[in-house]
Amino acid sequence: MAKFIVNTHGRLQEWIAHDKGYFVEEGLDYELTQHGLLTKAAPENFKAGANVVSDNLTGAYQTYEQGREASISCACHWTVNMAASASHGRLWGEAYTVSPCGIFVPESSTIRKPEDLSGVDVHVGYQSGSHYTTIQALEQFMPADAVKLKFGGGPSDRVDQLLNGIAPAATVFGMQYYIMEQLGFRKILDCTFMIAAMVPPGVDLGDVRKYFNALRKAQADIDRMHQSFTHYYLNELPERHAKLVDVRRFGPGERIVFEPYTREMYEATKEWVEERDIFPSEKVAPTDYEQAVAFAAE
């Protein structure tokens, strides 16, 4: 039987389950891996003094189009929803995750409130969580045509762009949220960041449940005292960012919610994305909930 390949997601749960033996307790033969958007090896693509950021149109959705080499992986629920609709895998329906997320600006910025972001480039990842959630958050404060996005690449790219004065504003979540907060960048607006898991064809759904059973134990450890585990962030933070911060001050990050990703969630999310023309019409698939969302048999 092939190993169960886990793409980590810049969070604590997998590392706790690994070190405390929870995966083994569940009978899972597994391997932890990292993928390109959230990885300790993320290269530094933007240097101080740069004055142009070209739109980077490779984001979380494109990694599913290309095929992630994993038995389980995570991305924002908007992307996983759309990728599952297009039959790039199935969204795991027995749990989802929520993460702290916000739009940050430099401390010296004159931007003080969400309305000040009207017409200002907010750096986000293309068809990634920051893309959707920035629209979702800002449309409460301004008309759609006043929301201006710059596709600045992955989470580490956007940290570099803020640090080097290239981005007037950027949306970040999880580890990157804690970096900007600790370094004194100003949060203008909290954003919703909901994450889902993707299961590719051929993966044993019983193994997926074993994986989540192990994460449930890790989540309980985090809930009791997350400070014991924040050193695991160093497994995924690029060294250039890790040396700027004290991860002992970081929060718990993503929290796994062991509740169903319901039909209403699936349909409402898909409709929201389609209404905003985030995907060209040829990439909008009509796949229904039963086909797109996976549950393990009892």
CA dihedral (83, 176, 169, 50) positive or negative: negative
pLDDT greater than 60 at residue 232: yes
Q: Among 28, 279, 247, which residue's Cα sits nearest to residue 14?
A: 28
The answer to whether 195 and 96 are in contact (CB under 8 A) is: yes
The answer to whether 190 and 102 are in contact (CB under 8 A) is: yes
Bigger pLDDT: 16 or 281?
A: 16
Of 43-47, 242-246, 247-251, the poorest mean pLDDT is in: 43-47
Q: b/e for 223-248, b at 16 or more Cβ within 10 A?
A: eeebeebbebbebbbbeebbeebebe
Q: Which residue has 């389609």 as its token pair?
A: 274
The answer to whether 39 and 62 are in contact (CB under 8 A) is: no
Tens of pLDDT along 182-229?
Answer: 999 999 999 999 999 999 999 999 999 999 999 999 999 999 999 999
- Residue 35: per-residue pLDDT: 72
- Residue 44: per-residue pLDDT: 78
Q: Using CA atoms, how far apart are residues 71 and 199, in angstroms rounded to an integer?
A: 6
Tens of pLDDT along 100-113?
Answer: 999 999 999 999 99
Q: 4-294 has which fold? A: D-Maltodextrin-Binding Protein; domain 2 (3.40.190)
Q: Which two tokens stand for residue 157?
A: 């790219």
Task: Tally helices (H) and strands (E) across the chain.
Answer: 11, 13
Q: How much of the chain, in percent, has pLDDT values that exceed 90? A: 87
Average pLDDT in the chain? 94
How crowded is residue 283: how many other Cβ atoms within 10 Å of its Cβ? 14
- The structure's pTM equals 0.94
Tens of pLDDT along 6-42?
Answer: 999 999 999 999 999 999 999 999 999 987 666 676 7
- Residue 36: per-residue pLDDT: 64
Q: Using CA atoms, how far apart are residues 81 and 140, in angstroms rounded to an integer?
A: 23
Q: pLDDT band for position 50 (50/70/90)?
A: low
- Sort strands 148-151 and 255-257 into parallel, antiparallel or unpaired: unpaired
